Amino acid sequence: MVEFRELTMGDELMYCDYMREWIDHDEKIVPTITNITKYSNFEELVHELADNKSHDESVDNTTLFLIEDDEIIGAANIRHNLNEQLKKIGGHVGYGIRKKHRGKGFGNKILKKSLDYLSRIGVREALVTCTEDNEASVAVIKHNGGEEIESSTLEDGTVVRRFQIEIA
């Protein structure tokens, strides 16, 4: 059974396994709000994520984890509204899939479920972004109805592709 939900205190072991995979592959943890190093311990992580406030973006948000067979597959940080920074990079949904489950359709599933969540809270048009070299995310975003709009360039020269998705 696939669940898309917030973390609970009972999820600590599967969360540690999930986090270990990101660290073992020396990858940037996405969404960054799920990175345990931002918190003193797992309890604080669960509490802060449940608070629906992002430390970095300072907008209301919800972080949900895609869980199948007692394993975290990935996570999405869903922003309820956007500030100027999130309009350039980040958008309404930041999501990541653990390495061993990439290429199996979970990216499509997590973005679809995130868009469904946005629809339930009244968002009718979502902005989703990715760096220009992330072809897997481009495919996921387009599969979910993403129409490319103008890109944005960060101070370090990184080009961010931006997509608008109409939500039914």
Supply the CATH number for residue 76's domain: 3.40.630.30
Tell me how many domains the chain contains.
1
Q: Are 119 and 168 in contact (CB under 8 A)?
A: yes
Is 141 contained in some domain? no
Is 94 contained in some domain? yes
- 55 pLDDT band, cuts 50/70/90, is low
Q: Which residues contact 129 (CB under 8 A, 6 or more apart)?
A: 88, 89, 90, 91, 152, 160, 161, 162, 163
- 58 pLDDT band, cuts 50/70/90, is confident
> Which residue range is the domain that position 77 belongs to?
2-123
Q: Tens digits of per-residue pLDDT, 128-149?
A: 999 999 999 999 999 999 999 9
Alpha-carbon distances of 136 from 83, 85, 133, 142, rounded to whole Å: 26, 23, 9, 10
Is 21 contained in some domain? yes
Least confident of 26-35, 89-98, 140-149: 26-35
Is 135 contained in some domain? no
Residue 53 confidence (pLDDT): 62
Is 167 contained in some domain? no
